[in-house]
Amino acid sequence: MSNNDYPDIRYLFEPRSVAVIGASRDPAKIGYKVVENIVVGGYKGRIYPINPGGGDIMGLPACKSVDSVDGEVDVACVVIPSHKVFSAVEGCARKRVKHVMVITSGFSEVGNGAEEKKIAAFARQSGMRIMGPNMFGLYSSSSSLNATFGPRDVRAGGVAIITQSGALGLAMIGKTSVENIGLSAICSVGNKSDLDEADLLEYLVPHDDTKVILMYIEGVRQGEKFIRALKKATRIKPVVVVKSGRSKRGAAAAASHTGSLAGADNVFDAIMRQCGALRAETVKEAFDWCSFMSNNALPDGQETVIITNGGGIGVMATDASEKYGVPLYDNMVTLKEIFSPVTPEFGSMKNPVDITGQAQSDHYDAALDAALNCEDIHAVVALYCETAVFDAEKLPAMVKNNYERFRNARKPILFSLFGGENTERCVTELSREQVPVYGDVYESVSPLGAMYAYRRHLAHYVEAVDTVALDVNAINAIIAGARNEERYFLLTNEAQEIMKIAHIPIPRTLIARSLNEAVNSSREIEYPVVMKVVSKDIIHKSDAGGVALDLENEKEVIDAYEAIMRSCKAHVPGAHIEGVEITEMVSAGTELIAGAKIDPSFGPIVMVGLGGIYVEVMKDVAFRAYPLNRSEVLSMIEQIRSYPLLLGVRGEKTKDISSLVDIILRLGSIVEQCRGISDIEINPVMVYDQGMGSKAVDVRILLSKDQ
Amino acid sequence: MSNNDYPDIRYLFEPRSVAVIGASRDPAKIGYKVVENIVVGGYKGRIYPINPGGGDIMGLPACKSVDSVDGEVDVACVVIPSHKVFSAVEGCARKRVKHVMVITSGFSEVGNGAEEKKIAAFARQSGMRIMGPNMFGLYSSSSSLNATFGPRDVRAGGVAIITQSGALGLAMIGKTSVENIGLSAICSVGNKSDLDEADLLEYLVPHDDTKVILMYIEGVRQGEKFIRALKKATRIKPVVVVKSGRSKRGAAAAASHTGSLAGADNVFDAIMRQCGALRAETVKEAFDWCSFMSNNALPDGQETVIITNGGGIGVMATDASEKYGVPLYDNMVTLKEIFSPVTPEFGSMKNPVDITGQAQSDHYDAALDAALNCEDIHAVVALYCETAVFDAEKLPAMVKNNYERFRNARKPILFSLFGGENTERCVTELSREQVPVYGDVYESVSPLGAMYAYRRHLAHYVEAVDTVALDVNAINAIIAGARNEERYFLLTNEAQEIMKIAHIPIPRTLIARSLNEAVNSSREIEYPVVMKVVSKDIIHKSDAGGVALDLENEKEVIDAYEAIMRSCKAHVPGAHIEGVEITEMVSAGTELIAGAKIDPSFGPIVMVGLGGIYVEVMKDVAFRAYPLNRSEVLSMIEQIRSYPLLLGVRGEKTKDISSLVDIILRLGSIVEQCRGISDIEINPVMVYDQGMGSKAVDVRILLSKDQ
């Protein structure tokens, strides 16, 4: 059944009527709380409390069952015990309810997955969509619907929250209200038996009232679907993500908590970056970002000036700007030109612009005017350290007026105010009015950094998908061969064959069955060459004296051939020796590692990192997921700390990065198109100077076991 | 003049009498503000306003000059214009004032360093100590003295603040008051013409009322003195440091702001770690740490349990614990034993312990009891997500009572409360009562991490100083030789000679003046060897064909000798060739970089890092300063990310770390004892398997130019 057979998900957020199956007259019950919240929240549609006992609930007549409701039901909230849920869902199907929110818990999260699957499968057949089970309900500002058992008062506004933790979500309703962050929607996804985060994004992305989307994630299941939805979403509006389970132990705790597979955090992190989602570390940081971005339009550029009345905090703001990726405007000529009229003698016109401890309200006005009336400056971080000189009474007006003035010009000002009671009160009161004012320098820079990161994503994102045409059948034949032998790894020659099929350059190799052939092959491959014995009977070639490196001429090839034969025969008596393999001696280049694999959360992903023994120790790796294009691979390569090695250090030439991108795209395509492969790793891949290409020196391929 | 000739610095913080030179009747003047703050602040000693006009100031009779004061003056605050300061200081000397605080600005910070030096030199001759100039004064709780022009109300308590930024310091007085952080002292160091941070520590370290010291630093000048003072201080009480100028641009901004040399941040960071100081990133974080540590005794261990009513926040606290170095208790047997009676069926007895969303006040009591009555558990991070089940009215009592109960047992509980208005009010009110309660999970874990870091420092700190006996004269003779030639770098053989003098192993080398000698030398050194031409006329040896690597036997040595002679003569006709240098061919080991240098802020420091081309790109280096011991060098080596390479990865053996420590101590001793050297770098130093030592392959030595 395709998605088109389902009712529009809009009815979930904007239902014309809501039934509460399990509505109760007992205020201690969730069945009461949900009805109360819907009624008190001012929902404009029809409300149908369902209770077998009938009677009145909150002044509304209760129906005995959903079937007996007189009128259509867009959404049914189910709050009855888990063993009764299936039969209620059957009733909903009969009534042709569009969406069922199963608030009830006691399903897969406590090991009762069978019942949950049964319900989801039944709903699917009946053309209904299920939210939950095990969720707290849903709030939607567009229909003034608070169908949750959480706090009664939800502040309406521009932030939509999708949370994987119900407990945290409920508390967020209260916390956002305290922090004056308005919500357009909030819901928990529960056990995701049917609808998941990606589905909810379908509604929220085109939803005008939603300015920013905040997601709290513990683990991702249908990663490929999620990536597609997220990429689409970030084209339209910012998505802020908080994912717990960053640490190893945290990931284990998350897995035991939600049953989600909390994958490697660095993979998750890289994919969020690829999708243009903004990852916040803490809920507090996420709230700050969402609040700021939901209230302020994107500026036209990201040249930022710090204006301060204290040197120390100016320096801290400079540090914070680097940390959060906020570029500081540094055209000294312009800075001097615009700030010299408004900066006192012992101040500084460099950025940070120091208007000194003598600055009063109108000095701030003048400096902010000077900065933001300049075309080349797009935002200001304004710092204030409490002084005796500044008239505290004027502080709130100074902050608010300047903010409002430039807000309409899409030139945000973020304030950091540091001081005693008056200052603190100003922070508290103005942040209640959604003015971006903070008590700490770092806190004031961080939301601007998030906004710029989003802006950069919009500017640099390339929509294309670069797929490589592959002879999939030829690769699958090799995989099938290994599988026939019940092998889940490929032999060197098999792996090399796949590289050839995928047009990934590997060292030239020939097999020689005699001394004469060895000499000819070496000449053909070009000196220097490496010689290795070929024999099924000899596993450890080096130990048997079966390897000779760096052979530079015919004489050395002849000597080596004879030495190898002698030594191997002595070492493994009776071994059948088929000949020797002559390989090009790979010249030194920049050693990287490149790979592609099937990630348990996200499906096919590619990887690049610093090669050799350093990959394990330095963990300097980056990832990207499918769908994938060249530009994303390039940004992955740029992300590794050792990227400067590819640009050339110590006067070395720039390396052939483009050939590396090409190899990675090919690796990814193999894994994406031939799903029998779980893992390809090239370590090392030698990257040579620009124009000289790259070479896959050592390739290891593993097959997936679950096929 | 030795320090003993000065009055005890205690009189600066606990003066029996204070004169204010420049006291004013005009409330707009600093000279009024300082007197007002002293009087209103409740200072118990004698106050002498000094004003040439005489009369009354704040009800106190003003003296016309400090000379005319009837009685001793321990501290004189100077608030007159800068050009009059010197003459006032002369008056103080006549009056035998002990300490002069020059609040007045307009000295070295605006280029007027000569006047400042003159004042400091005069004071020094007269046996007085100077604070400032360009400072905001000083507050000291022990004498209820608020001799500042900042806020009137200072909250007394256990935190002493020393700040390099006056503006920030003044604002901190207000901010600490708002956040209910009590101060034992606060002062800015100004231009440090005489007394600096290290001197102030002398008083604050034994000062009983000071529980924690907070320092705001922009740059360090007398680094060696500072290190000694800081090391002494952290033996007695925690020192929290905020240093701005972490980023490159921030460092530049700091330098232009204070004139301090803001050195490389990674050097500063490493030295703070060595000294046991706790570096906070933001002022907010520093305040949280100070407040927590000033109110809570160190626990007996660091086994921590997270107790939560929500899975999601539990996972976040687990992440935060890893971030901030908080070890989570994980004895599953004990956890199950103590928590099974207090955890509901669908909760978790693993750490984080999840007492579920059904938890009420008494469930928290029971879980906290279970945890903290267990001998093996030393602290708890208790998380609360607002739920409808928990009676909000009981929240403050639950938090406060549990905290107080276990506080006396030195078992801290840190709370994170997340939710709506009631929850938020509880956070605000209880944190005002110094209960460690926070609105964000990360914020609640961070202070515990700081406390543990301090605890670990106390436990692992080794007092010793390991100095290496060196033939300093022999090294100085080599340095003098180079200096005579006006060279500021040493030649290879000079550098090697210094390595020999310092007993740092280098590859064996012999000079051979004939083919015969070359053959004999090669045999003596043992094959394989490297041969290099020795000729003053041949600069680029490789280009001239003057180098041969990996010579494995007599035949190859003979061939190489002849080839080198032939090629060099052809390449540089008429070159005088003295012979060849035969060097041991160094076998491969773990390549590191080791060094020692004179840091402009901290004096002699040592360095270790990942070697080869990676040092530049990965910036995986660590530093330590003098005085230095083996244990500190070892902890420096352990700090680099590539440390696992030394422990052995991929089944490799552990490397000879002890020999590396030895080399680093010797390098450091050279630089410390022979101050003519500014920089020694060994790149690479090859570290071999345990027992096989290390070898300094390539040594580069630079001389200091300012000698």
CB contact under 8 A, A33 and B388: yes
Taking the C-alpha atoms of residue B326 and residue B303, their distance in angstroms, rounded to an integer, is 8
Chain B residues closer than 8 Å to A390 by CB:
none
Q: Is A258 helix (H, G, I), strand (E, B) or coil?
A: helix
Give every CB contact of residue A518 below 8 A, 6+ residues apart in sequence: A512, A531, A557, A558, A561, A579, A580, A582
Inter-chain touch B151–A423, beta carbons under 8 Å: no
Q: Which CATH architecture has domain A313-376+384-451?
A: 3-Layer(aba) Sandwich (3.40)
Dihedral Cα A4, A7, A12, A17, nearest 10 deg:
170
The shortest C-alpha distance from A71 to chain B (Å) reads: 33
pLDDT of residue B260: 47
Could you give the angle at the alpha carbon of B443 between the alpha carbons of B440 and B449, nearest 5°? 145
Size of interface A-B (CB pairs under 8 A): 265
- Per the CB < 8 A criterion, the answer to whether B39 and B48 are in contact is no
Q: In the prediction, which pLDDT does A3 show?
A: 46
Same fold, B3-244 and B313-376+384-451: yes
Contacts of A642 in chain B (CB under 8 A): 614, 617-618
Distance from the Cα of B614 to chain A's closest Cα (Å) equals: 8
Sequence-ordered list of residues with C-beta below 8 angstroms from that of A333, at least 6 positions apart, any chain: none
Residue of chain A with shortest Cα separation from B259: A311
DSSP of B143-188 = GTEEEESS-S---EEEEEEEES-HHHHHHHHHHHHHTT--EEEEEE
3-state secondary structure at position B612: coil
Q: Predicted ipTM?
A: 0.91
- With pLDDT > 70 as the criterion, what percentage of chain A qualifies? 97
Mean pLDDT of chain A: 93
Cis ω for the linkage preceding A344 (within 30 of 0): no
A138 against A219, higher pLDDT: A138
Q: How confident is the model at residue B255 (pLDDT cuts 50, 70, 90)?
A: low
Residue A260 has pLDDT above 60, yes or no: no
Picking from B171, B284, B311, the nearest residue to A258 by CB comes out as B311
- A269 neighbourhood in chain B, CB within 8 Å: none
A614/B168 Cβ within 8 A: no
Q: A10-14, B533-537, B590-594: which has the minimum mean pLDDT?
A: B533-537
pLDDT score, position A262? 44
Question: Which of B167, B250, B617 faces A310 most closely, judged by CB atoms?
Answer: B167
pLDDT at A255: 65
Q: Tell me if B178 and A420 make a contact (CB, 8 A cut-off).
A: yes
Structure-token pair, residue A41: 């929240």
Given a contact cutoff of 8 angstroms between Cβ atoms, the answer to whether A171 and B383 are in contact is no
Q: What's the whole-model pTM score?
A: 0.93
Question: So what's the pLDDT on residue B156?
Answer: 95
Are the CB atoms for B139 and B187 separated by under 8 Å? yes
Q: What is the pLDDT of residue B505?
A: 96
Give the H or E element holding residue A567: helix A554-571
Least confident of A227-236, A507-516, B6-15: B6-15
Query: Whole-angstrom Cα distance, residue B90 to residue B118?
Result: 11
Phi, psi of A489 (to 5 degrees): -135, 155
CA distance A194 to A457: 31
* Cα–Cα distance for residue pair B217/A312, rounded to 1 Å: 9
pLDDT of residue A454 exceeding 50, the answer is yes
Residue of A nearest to B328 (CA): A249
Q: Report residue B526 CA to chain centroid gap.
A: 47
pLDDT grade for A261, boundaries at 50, 70 and 90: very low
For residue A84, how many other CB atoms are within 10 A of its CB?
13
Put simply, the answer to whether A178 touches B424 (Cβ < 8 Å) is yes
**Model confidence band, residue B705 (pLDDT cutoffs 50, 70, 90):** confident
- Smallest CA–CA distance, residue B289 to chain A, in Å, is 15
Does residue B369 surpass a pLDDT of 60? Answer: yes
CB B231 within 8 A of CB B276: yes
Is B1 a residue whose pLDDT tops 50? no
Structure tokens at B334: 């004990």
The arithmetic mean of pLDDT across residues B181-185, rounded, is 97
For residue B613, pLDDT over 80 is answered with: no
A693 vs B658: CA distance, rounded Å:
43
Instruction: Give the pLDDT score at A263.
Output: 58
**What's the gap in Å between the CA of B684 and the closest CA on chain A?**
16
| CATH no. for A590-703 | 3.30.470.20
B163, B348, B423: residue with CB nearest A174 = B423
Domain ranges of chain B: 3-244, 313-376+384-451, 508-585, 590-703
pLDDT band (50, 70, 90) for residue A164: very high
State the Cα–Cα distance between residues B476 and B484, nearest whole angstrom. 12
| Euclidean distance between CA atoms A397 and A391, whole angstroms | 11
What is the reported pLDDT for B90? 96
Q: Which amino acid is at A101?
A: M
Render pLDDT for B430-476 as a digit per residue (tens, 0 to 9).
999 999 999 999 999 999 999 999 999 999 998 889 989 999 999 99
Would you state the pLDDT for residue A538? Answer: 87
Helix (H, G, I), strand (E, B) or coil at A415: strand
pLDDT at residue A256, as a whole number: 61
> Best of B305, B318, B610 to disrupt the A interface by mutation (most A CBs within 10 Å)?
B318
Binary contact (A322, B258; C-beta < 8 A) = no
**Residue B156 near residue B184, CB atoms below 8 Å:** yes
pLDDT of residue A8: 82
Q: What confidence tier does A618 reach under pLDDT thresholds 50, 70, 90?
A: confident
Alpha carbon distance A181, B353 (integer Å): 31
Given this model, what pLDDT does residue B257 score? 57
Contact A310 B171 (CB under 8 A): yes
Q: How far is A243 from chain B (nearest CA, A)?
A: 8
pLDDT at B6 over 90: no
Pick the residue with more confidence: B323 or A259? Answer: B323
- DSSP 3-state assignment of B298? coil
Q: Which residues in chain B have their CB less than 8 angstroms from residue A258's CB?
A: 311
Instruction: List % helix, strand, coil for chain B (3-state, nearest 5).
Output: 40, 20, 35
What is the average per-residue pLDDT within B146-160? 94
CB B435 within 8 A of CB B403: yes
- Which CATH superfamily groups domain A508-585? ATP-grasp fold, A domain (3.30.1490.20)
Res A494 pLDDT > 70: yes
> Nearest-CA neighbor of A582 among A492, A540, A519?
A519
**Residue in B closest to A242 by C-alpha:** B316
Closest approach of B247 to chain A, Cα-based (Å): 5
CA distances in angstroms from A242 to A449, B89, B509, listed in the order given:
16, 59, 60
Chain B neighbors of A650, CB-CB under 8 A: 613, 616
Per-residue confidence band for B2, with pLDDT thresholds at 50, 70 and 90? very low
Give B442's contacts in chain A (Cβ within 8 Å): 281-282, 284
Of B247, B442, B617, the CB nearest to A319: B247
Range A117-135 burial, b when 16+ CB lie within 10 A, else e: eebbebbbeeebbbbbbbb
Task: Quote the minimal CA–CA distance from A217 to chain B in Å.
Answer: 9
Measured CA angle at B365 (ends B362, B368), to 5 deg: 150
pLDDT at position B499: 97
Q: In this predicted structure, what is the pLDDT of residue B535?
A: 87
Residues A461-485 have pLDDT tens digits of 988 899 899 999 999 999 999 999 9
Other CB atoms within a 10 A radius of the CB of residue B366 amount to 16
pLDDT in tens, B498-516: 999 999 999 999 999 999 9
Q: Which residue has the higher pLDDT, B498 or B254?
A: B498
Local confidence band at B262 (pLDDT 50, 70, 90 cut-offs): very low
Domain covering B3-244, topology: Rossmann fold (3.40.50)
**A308-367: per-residue pLDDT in tens?**
999 899 999 999 999 999 999 999 999 999 999 999 988 899 999 999 999 999 999 999
Beta strands in B277-359 (DSSP E): 278-280, 304-308, 353-354
User: Tens digit of pLDDT for each residue in A41-98?
Assistant: 999 999 999 999 989 999 999 999 999 999 999 999 999 999 999 999 999 999 999 9
B178, two tokens: 């708002």
How far from the centroid of its chain's Cα atoms is residue B47's Cα? 38
Work out the pLDDT band at A6, boundaries 50, 70, 90: low
Q: Which two tokens stand for residue A373?
A: 């009336």
CA A48 to chain CA mean position, Å: 40
Tell me the per-residue pLDDT of B282-340, one tens digit each, with 9 for 90 and over: 999 999 999 999 999 999 999 999 999 998 999 999 999 999 999 999 999 999 999 99
List CB contacts of B591: < 8 A, sequence separation 6 or more: B611, B612, B684, B685, B686, B687
Q: Residue A649: what pLDDT?
A: 79
Task: Show residues of chain B in contact with A613, CB under 8 Å.
Answer: 645, 649-650
Amino acid A5: pLDDT: 56
User: Min CA distance, B693 vs chain A (Å)?
Assistant: 21
pLDDT at B3: 46
Could you tell me if A241 and A215 are in contact, meaning their C-beta atoms sit under 8 angstroms apart? yes
